[in-house]
Amino acid sequence: MRVYFPVLFSMVSIGILSLVEIFLLKKLHRDWWEIAWVRKTSYGVPVAGLIGLSLWALGIALEYDLVLAVGATLSSVVFVLGMALMLSLPFSAIFHVIDRVIKWIGHKRSERKNTEKHPDPQRRRLLTTTAAVFPVLAVATGGKGVVNAYSDPHMPEIPLSWPDLPAALEGLRILHISDVHIGFFIGFDELERMVALSSEKKPDIVLLTGDFSDDAPTYLEALRLAGEIPARYGHFASIGNHEYFRGIQSIVRSYERGPIPLLLDSGATIDVGGTPVHIAGADDPRSMRNMPRHFFEQSIDRAMRDAPSDAFSILLSHRPTGFDYAARRDIPLTLAGHTHGGQIGINGRSLLYALNPEKYMWGLYEKNGAKLYVSAGAGHWFPYRIGCPAEIPTYILRSA
């Protein structure tokens, strides 16, 4: 039943959005509703959604990836367009209300003067045109967001510096892959493209921070593909909440058989030019609402148990929440994901950053000399991105 949950969720969402869209048009945009193509389009949107949902469910039932991908994409486009119209139509209605108020005032004045005065057609055209701008821009932005979601991930190179960085680590290149979410919208073709782009970065270490795949039966195959990225000091991974959702025991068995070690409440120490580098992997609480007290403290302590005292430590924590304790433990670098940056950003920051600056959403953060980078994710579980592109960053260690 769980595999059909996105379909059911989308069906309910598209149904609600379609009803709201038709209601807003009929009640707040009566002039538009009288236009035949507007009415047909309004009814056509939920029909297109129904077709997409049917193909999506059929693709799951028949295990036919092409049908599944077409259905899931069509359903997502309908959802995005429905959301765009629902948010924009109330704003455009303001100009229709202004037009009706001005028309009513002019009518009353004409009655008092016993004269017939027709509304200014240029003024009415300006108001209706301005009203149309809101849904047109919203729909265009929604379409652009869907297109962006299917673009190649950005591959930024991000220098990170510490004043006491060991000389052997100068220039060390760390590739960070997070939240690929192989499944409905990200397939093996996209993963192969990510592997090719990542290989061009010539990383020394490749680190994965959870939510790698939403398809447990092909998890091992995906790991083997990711393991083809050349990295002279190896690949390491931590767990995410979606690994628990898809069956943690099956996922762990895939890691045991695959080329990438899973660091689950554990760590691994590698030698880089005579300098020990300890890579620690934190567990994931599955849900923040039911998270046991001191969950991250206990998990990070276990992952750091065998770290040499002189090691440069890197914490892999799917949720950036672990950074607060990592900074208190003087762990120089924490890598995280999970948030996807909200998939909407402005000026290099998540849109949600403005609402809650204290929450780690996307990008680089520092505290007490420790650094955190929250990746916007290499993939997505819903295809929409505006101002917050998918990314696979490469960190280059420097001495300050």
Tens digit of pLDDT for each residue in 352-393? 877 777 789 999 999 999 999 999 999 998 888 989 999 999
- Residue 399's region, left for phi above 0, alpha for psi from -120 to 50, else beta, is beta
Distance CA 76, CA 202 (A): 35
- A 10 A CB-CB count for 33 gives 16
pLDDT band at residue 1 using 50, 70 and 90 as cut-offs? very low
- What is the sign of the dihedral through the CA atoms of 141, 145, 147 and 148? positive
> How confident is the model over 92-132, as pLDDT tens digits?
877 766 766 666 666 666 666 665 555 555 655 665 666 67
Distance CA 238, CA 211 (A): 9
**DSSP letters spanning 247-268:** THHHHHHHHHHSSS-B-SSEEE
> How confident is the model over 172-225, as pLDDT tens digits?
999 999 999 998 889 999 999 999 999 999 999 999 999 999 989 999 999 999
Domain spans, the chain: 2-149, 157-399
pTM: 0.84
When the pLDDT of each residue in the chain is averaged and rounded to a whole number, the result is 88
Compute the average pLDDT of residues 156-167: 97
Question: What's the confidence (pLDDT) of residue 67?
Answer: 86
CATH fold of 157-399: Purple Acid Phosphatase; chain A, domain 2 (3.60.21)
